[in-house]
Amino acid sequence: SDLKQRCVKFSVAAAISLLLLLLLTGILLAYYYSSSCVHGVQCVDGGCVWESQWCDGVTHCPSGEDEAHCVRVQGSTSLLQIYSNKLKEWRTVCSYDWSDQHGEASCQGMGYSRYKTCPNNNGVTLRCTDCGRGVNSSRAPGGPAASSPASWPWQVSLQLAGSHRCGGAIISPYWIVTAAHCVARAPDPRDWAVYAGIVDSLGTLFNPAHTVSHIITHEDYNSLTRSNDLALMRVSSPLDFTGTDGSKMVWFQTILRLSMSKMYFH
């Protein structure tokens, strides 16, 4: 009798364990097949490019995301590196036979239009300058399809009380340029948060917020005509340009030179 009861209990426990195992397997399989890019990168149009196709020199995504982030400048010396599809790692570019055309092409690939470059022993250090551009895409930002991360690396989300209020552009590690009408009714820097490298509201869960220390508006801003609709935000901590939050600067020296003399701190 005792042996029979033990056998029944063992059978019940085994059946429950088997059911739980089958349930877990089903959940994992459903997740695997529902996630089209478990082992790849998501294209803007919803398609998937496998890891073996990243940076292979052939554009597989319609908007070119798979070939858009294969060049970077690394570290304080801005050492130029290219991602190797075969080795699956970043490789430093040698300075042998380097030309101005190579420097220009590298900067353009990262979203810049001009550059300064110099050989550094066996490697190349690259300093890209002037206005940034988005990666090659036939779609305008803010269109019906979502942008992929780092497609517009100088773009930031300016959030007020936890909600997106307007966009801004990075002009230095500490400064954001935006519209005066965006901040006119909320001039207190403590009410704002700046998010870089996000493309949707879920991005705020995985990216740190940058607090704002100062807001500067154009002295001659007119809320009725929207003339001189320009403002600056200074973040309390520098934005990261190593690639971890997708940030990249867009230089507006001319705007700043013309406008800073007519701005004031709140």
Domain residue limits, the chain:
42-129, 155-261
pLDDT at 233: 92
Structure tokens at 96: 């042998």
Token pair 């995504």 is found at 61
163: nearest Cα among 193, 128, 188: 193
- CATH, range 155-261: 2.40.10.10
48 vs 130, higher pLDDT: 48
Helix (H) or strand (E) holding 79: strand 79-84
Rg (CA), the chain: 25
* Residues forming beta bridges with residue 50, ordered by sequence position: 40
250: nearest Cα among 165, 164, 147, 168: 168
* Average pLDDT of the residues in 135-153: 48
Query: Rounded to whole angstroms, how far apart are CA atoms 100 and 117?
Result: 8
pLDDT at 137: 44
Torsions phi, psi for 74 (to 5 deg)? -120, 135
The CA-CA-CA angle for residues 171, 175, 178, to 5°, reads: 75
Strands (E), 110-162: 112-120, 123-132, 155-160
- Alpha carbon distances (Å) from 49 to 38, 88, 116, 132, 193: 10, 15, 33, 26, 34
SS3 assignment, position 237? coil
61 vs 102, higher pLDDT: 61
pLDDT at 232: 92
Per-residue confidence at 56, pLDDT binned at 50, 70, 90? confident
* Residues forming beta bridges with residue 160, ordered by sequence position: 163, 192
194: nearest Cα among 216, 217, 178: 178
Beta-carbon contacts of 19 under 8 Å, excluding residues fewer than 6 positions away, are none
Task: State the fold for domain 42-129.
Answer: Mac-2 Binding Protein (3.10.250)
pLDDT at 213 over 90: yes
pLDDT at 214: 93
